[in-house]
Structure 1
Amino acid sequence: MSGSTHDLPPGLLVWLETLGKGSISRLERHVARREAWVVDIAREDGSVLEAFLRLDRQPVAGGNVSLQREAGICRALMATAIPVPALLGWNEEHHAALFSRVPGSADLPGVADKTQQRQVMEDFIDVIARLHRLEPDALGLDDLLGPPPRTAAEAALGDLDAQLQQFASFLADYEDPLLSYGADWLRRFAPQSVARVSLVQGDTGPVNFMFAGNRVTAVVDWEWGHWGDPMEDLGNICVREFWNPSGGLQGLFRRYEEQSGIPYTRAAAQYYRIQQNVRGMIPIHAACAQPGLRESMAWYLCYRYIGDRSTCEALADAMGIALERPDMPEPDNNKGSVLLRAAANSLQRDVLPDLQTPFACSRLRDAQVLIDCAEREHRYGNAIRADNAAEIATLLGQQPKDYAHATTRLLEAMRDRRIADEPLLQYLARKAFRDEWLYQPAASLYPARNWSALD
C-alpha cells in the first residue's frame, strides 16, 4: 500500500478491511492538528472505497468533546438535509471512526475569486440556518448529548462548565489569569434569554466545511456538537473566520436571521465569540503543557498566543474598552544558544533532505518553529516576565518577589474582585501582546489575524 509507514494497531487495520470489504491500497497520515488518515480500500470488483479515518487514542470517559460524539451526530444528520460525511463505521475498541471522503476543498481562504468565496459563505450560512431549525426530539441524540438545556444560562455556560470539569486536574495547578477572568466574565454577562435550543456544531465556520464550486458539500468536525443557543454557532463562525479569513462577515448574520427565523443580535455574537475562545483555550493551554504531545506543539503555541490576544480584543470590544499596546524589549546583542542553533542546523542540513512524506516534512518544520521559540525565550523571556510583574505590582499596590508570586497574588485579588475590569483587562491584553511577540515564530503560522467587523 502507498504511504504504509504507520503505528496504527493491527486490529484496526483488520477492522478497516473487513468494513470496506477489500484490501487497504492507500494509507497516509493527514496533515492536521488531530490524528487522521486518508484510506483507500480496493475491492475485488475493481471499485475503491475512498475513506477518511479519525482516531482518538486517549478518549476521555464522559468528556463533552469526543470523536464518538462526532460519529453519532454525523450518523443522525445523514437522514436530514444537512450535508455531512457518511459514517461508515465506529470501532469502540480503538475509538476510531471511518467516514466517507467528501469531494471538494476546505480551503475557502485560499479562493482567489472573492465572488465565489462570498457565494460559498452564503450557502454555508443557509446550511447553518437549516441545522438550527431541526427539531431536537427528531434527531434521537439525547442518549449521546444528554437533555437539552432548560435555561439561557445553561445554554451559554453548560459547555464551558463541562470543559472546566474535564480539565479540573490540570487547572488546579495551572495559574492563568486570562482563563480565570474569561470564565468569570462569561458567568457575569451570560444571556438572559434564548430564542430556542438547537443542535449546534460548536466549532463551525471556514475550514470546518468542504465546498465545491459555490456550494457546501459537507460540514465536518462535529466533536464539539451539543444542544445550545443557535447564537453560539454565530460566535463560532466569527472565531473560525478570524483564523481563516474568508471575505468578512458583512450581512451574513442578517441573512441567517432571514433564513432561520431566529433573531440575531450583535451582542450575542460578541458574547459567544468570547465563549468559544475561552472554552477553546482551555484544552489548548493544557496541550501546550504536554512535552509528549502527539500533535503539533508549534500549532498549539500559535493557537494559544494568538487566541489569548484575540480573547482580550473580543472582551474589550464587548465592553467598549480601547486597548493599549505595550512597548516590546529592545533587541539584544546576545548571540543566543549555541545548542539550539546546532539543533536547528542539524535538522535542516542532515534530516530534511532525507524526508519523504508530507507529514514528516511538516513535523520537521514544526520542530524548527519550536527551536526558534526557545531561542526567543532564551533572549527575551526574563525581560517579558519582569515587565508583567511590574504591571501586576502597580495593579496590586505591592511589590511581589517575582513573576510567579505576582501571578498568584493577582489571582487572589481577582477572586476577591479587588481590581476593576478595565485596568485588569488592560494588563491581560498587554501580557497577551507580549506573549504573541515573544512566540512570534509560532504566531507567524497564522499571520495578521484580526476580527472581522460585526453588523
Structure 2
Amino acid sequence: MDEALREKLVDWIGPLVGGEVTSLERSQARREGFYVDVLGASGEQRAFFLRLGRPGDPANDPRTTAFEADVNRTLRALGVRVAEVFGTKPDCHAALYERVRGRSDLERVGAAGQQAIYRDYLTQLAHLHGLDPDRIRIDGLSRPKTAEDCALVELAKVEADFAPLICEPLATFGLQWLRRHVPRTVDRIAFVHGDAGTPNFMFENEAVSALIDWEWAHFGDPMEDLGNAAIHASFHLSGEWPELLDHYAKVSGMPVDLERVAYYRAHLMVRSVLALAAATTRWDPHTPVALNLCFRVVSDRICCDAIAAAMGIELERPELPDGPEAPTTLYGVVAENLRSEVRPAVEDAFAANRLDAAVLLVQALERVHRLGPALEQIELDELSKLLGDRPMDLASGLARLDRELPRLRSRTRGRSPPLPRPSRVADRTALRARREPVSGLRAASAGPRALIAWRMSDRSCSRSPSTRR
C-alpha cells in the first residue's frame, strides 16, 4: 500500500469508528487485508479488519470486495454468524469489518475438539441453508430454478472470468466433465457459501465465532457446501465425516445425497484450477506467488482425485524421476543465505512471511533446474499417446491438447441421434395447436427454439457467460 492510499484510509477509518488509528498491519493471507488497531475516544483499544480490492488483480477484484460486504450485512441481519461491517469506501475499494475473535487452524486442534467445532460449523451451515431465500436480496444475484442451474450458472461466471486468461487442459476437461455429470435433482434452493469448510470460518472455545470469505456465495444446492467442506478436509483435518454428515442431516432436516456431495467436491476443485491457473499466469511481485504456486499444484492433484472418486476410478501415483545430485548449487546458496542470515534480522511479520516465500521460490527453481528436463520428457511421452505423435515441446503439446478436447466433444455430440428438422417440429406442434389451442400454442412457440438450443452441442453453448459480480 502506498503512503497516499494509507493516509486516505486512516483519515476515513478514524472518524468512521470514533477513534484514532494506531496501527495498520498487512495480513499474511493470499487476499489483501490489514489488521487495524484503533484507540477509542474513551481510551479503549478496538480491533478491526480492512479488506482492500485492487483493480486488475483477479484475486483482489474490487467487485468482490463490495459484494462480500453486502453479503455480510445481509446475513448478519438474519442471524448468521458473520463479521459486522462498519463501512465501505468505494473510491478506495475498501471495506472495514470487526476483527472476529478466534482462529481458523482447525488442524492444530485435537480430534475431539475438531469434531465438536465442526459439528457447530455444520449447524451454522444448516441455519444458513434454512433461510428464506426471499429475505436475501443482494445485488447481482439471481436464483436458480433447476438442479442444472445450481451447478452451471455460477460455473459459467467463474469460467467467463478466468478461462480467457489461461491455457489449461485440466480446466477444459474439468468444465466439460461437470457439464456431462450435472445432478438431476435438488431438494432445496438455498443461499450457499460457495467455498465452505476449513479455514473459511473462525472458532473459539469449540464454537464457531464467524463464517468468513464469502466471495463465491450464491443461491444453489446445499450439497455444494457439503462437497466443498469435504474437499477442504483433504487440506485440513476436520473430524470424522460420516458422523458429521449425519449431524447435518439431523439439524437441517434434509437428507445428504452422497452422489451430489461427490459431484460438488469436484466442482470446487475445477473452479480452483481455473482461478489458480489465472493467478499464476503472470508474476506480480506484490502477490503471494509462492503460495499461489503451491496451491495450484495441490489443487490440480486434488481436482484429479475428486473427479476420479466421483467416477469410482483408482488413480496411480507417479514417481518423481531421479535427477542429478549436486551438493551445492547457486540456488542453494541463495536459499541458505536468505534463511539463515537475512531471516533472523527481519522483525516485521509480513516481510518475514514474504522472505519465507522467496526461499520457497528459490528452492522450487532449483528443483526445476535439476528435474525439469526429465519431467518434460515423461510428459511428452504421455502426450504423444493421447495426440498420436510427439509434440515439439511441452507448451505446444498442452495447447494442442486443450484444442483437441472441445473437438472431441463436438464430434461426439455431432454423432448423437438426429432429431426432426425444426420445420417438421413446427408443423407437428401447429397440428396439435388446432386440437389443443392453449397448450399447443405454447408448444409451437417453444419447440423449434428448444431444438436449436439442443443442436448447439453442449449445455454451455446455450447459456451466455455472464460477467462476475
TM-score when normalising by structure 2: 0.82
Counting only pairs closer than 5 Å after superposition, residues 146-165 of structure 1 correspond to structure 2 as 146-165=141-160
Letter matched to residue 320 of structure 1: G
The aligned residue for residue 438 of structure 1 is none
Change (3 A) 1:183 1:198: same
2:215 aligns to what SS in structure 1? coil
Q: Which residue of 1 aligns with 2:66?
A: 68
Shift of 1:39: 0.9
Alignment of 1:320-359 (within 5 A): 320-334=312-326, 337-338=329-330, 340-359=331-350
1:421-441 deviations in Å (ceiling 9; x for gaps): xxxxxxxxxxxxxxxxxxxxx
* 3-state SS, counterpart of residue 273 of structure 2: helix
Tell me the C-alpha RMSD between the 2 structures: 2.5
| Alpha-carbon distance in structure 2 between the residues aligned to 1:307 and 1:212 | 28
> 1:379: which partner in 2?
370
Aligned 8 A contact 1:27 1:37 in 2: yes
- The whole-number CA distance in structure 1 between the counterparts of 2:130 and 2:62 is 23
User: 3-state DSSP class of the match of 1:90?
Assistant: strand
Structure 1 Cα separation of the partners of residues 296 and 328 of structure 2: 25
Larger RCO (alpha carbons 8 Å, 6+ apart): 1
Whether contact under 8 Å (1:59, 1:66) holds in the other structure is: no
Name the amino acid aligned to 1:319: M
* Deviations, residues 130-183 of structure 1 (Å, cap 9, x unaligned): 100101111222xx2322112211110112110111124313xx2x21111001
Unaligned runs of 5+ in 1: 420-455
Report the Cα distance in structure 2 between the residues aligned to 1:418 and 1:237, rounded to whole angstroms: 31
Q: Which range moved further: 6-15 or 308-317?
A: 6-15
Task: Give the counterpart letter for 1:37 in structure 2.
Answer: F
Query: Does the 8 A contact of 2:189 with 2:222 survive in 1?
Result: yes
String of CA shifts for 1:60-115, please: whole Å, max 9, x gaps: 79x79712111101101111221111111111111111111112221211112x22
Structure 1: distance between partners of 2:283 and 2:232 = 27
1:289 aligned to 263, 274, 281, which one? Answer: 281
Distance 1:344 1:149, change over 3 A: same
Which has the larger share of helix?
2
| Alpha-carbon spacing, 1:152–1:59, altered in 2? closer, same or farther (3 Å) | farther
Aligned position for 2:293:
301
CA distance in 1, matches of 2:259, 2:296: 25
Question: Which SS does the other structure have where 1:352 is aligned?
Answer: helix
1:241-286, CA deviations, whole angstroms, 9 ceiling, x for partnerless residues? 2211122422212221221122211111110011101112212111
The residue aligned with 1:15 is 12
1:114-153 equivalent positions in 2, closer than 5 A? 114-141=111-138, 144-153=139-148
SS of 1:373's equivalent? helix
Tell me which of 71, 78, 82 is aligned to 1:80.
Answer: 78
CA shift in 2, pair 1:239/1:76, >3 Å: same
* In 1: Cα distance, 2:94 partner to 2:37 partner: 16
Change (3 A) 1:102 1:368: same
Could you say if the C-alpha distance between residues 245 and 203 of structure 1 is closer, same or farther in structure 2, counting changes exceeding 3 Å?
same
Aligned to 1:253: 245
Structure 1 residues 25 and 408 mapped into 2: Cα distance closer, same or farther (>3 Å)?
closer
Q: How many residues align?
A: 411
Give the 3 Å change call, closer, same or farther, for CA 36–318 of structure 1 in structure 2.
Answer: same
User: How much does 1:128 deviate?
Assistant: 0.3
Q: Distance in 2 between matches of 1:93 and 1:264?
A: 44
* Distance in 1 between residues matched to 2:321 and 2:117, nearest whole Å: 43
- The structure 1 residue matched to 2:55, chosen from 54, 58, 65, is 58
Q: Does the C-alpha gap of structure 1 residues 152 and 418 become closer, same or farther in structure 2, counting only changes over 3 Å?
A: closer
TM-aligned CA distance change 1:415 to 1:92, over 3 Å: same
Asked if the contact 1:198–1:227 (Cα under 8 Å) also holds between the matched residues in 2, the reply is yes
Aligned mate of 1:170, from 162, 165, 171: 165
- Name the counterpart of 2:415: none
Q: Out of 350-359 and 150-159, give the one that drifted further.
A: 350-359
What SS is found at the alignment partner of 2:233?
Answer: helix
The structure whose Rg is larger is: 2
Alpha-carbon contact 1:287-1:293 (below 8 Å) kept: no
CA shift, 1:406, in A, is 2.4
SS at match of 1:26: strand
SS of equivalent to 1:88: strand
TM-aligned CA deviation for residue 240 of structure 1: 2.0
Structure 2, unaligned runs of 5 or more: 411-469
Q: Structure 1 98/216 Cα, relative in aligned 2: closer, same or farther at 3 Å?
A: same
Aligned partner of 1:108 in structure 2 is: 106
- Kept in 2, the 8 Å contact 1:23–1:41? The answer is yes
Question: Is 1:179 matched with 2:171?
Answer: yes
1:384-395 equivalent positions in 2, closer than 5 A = 384-395=375-386
Structure-to-structure mapping, 1:397-412, within 5 angstroms:
397-412=388-403
CA distance in 1: counterparts of 2:275 and 2:170, whole angstroms: 14
Other-structure match for 1:448? none
| Partner of residue 433, structure 2 | none
Task: Report sequence identity in percent.
Answer: 36
Deviations 1:201-249 (A, max 9, x none): 1111122111111211111111111111111111110122221112242
Name whichever of 363-372 and 286-295 sits farther off: 286-295
Change (3 A) 1:297 1:118: same
Q: CA deviation at 1:33?
A: 1.3
Question: AA paired with 1:124?
Answer: Y
Classify 1:168/1:414 alpha carbon distance in 2 versus 1 (closer, same or farther; 3 Å).
closer
Code of the residue aligned with 1:145 in structure 2: it is: G
Query: Residue 396 of structure 1 corresponds to which residue in structure 2?
Result: 387
C-alpha distance in 2 between matches for 1:257 and 1:218:
21
**CA distance 1:21–1:312, shift in 2 (3 Å):** same
Instruction: Judge conservation of contact 1:64–1:162 (CA < 8 Å) in 2.
Output: no
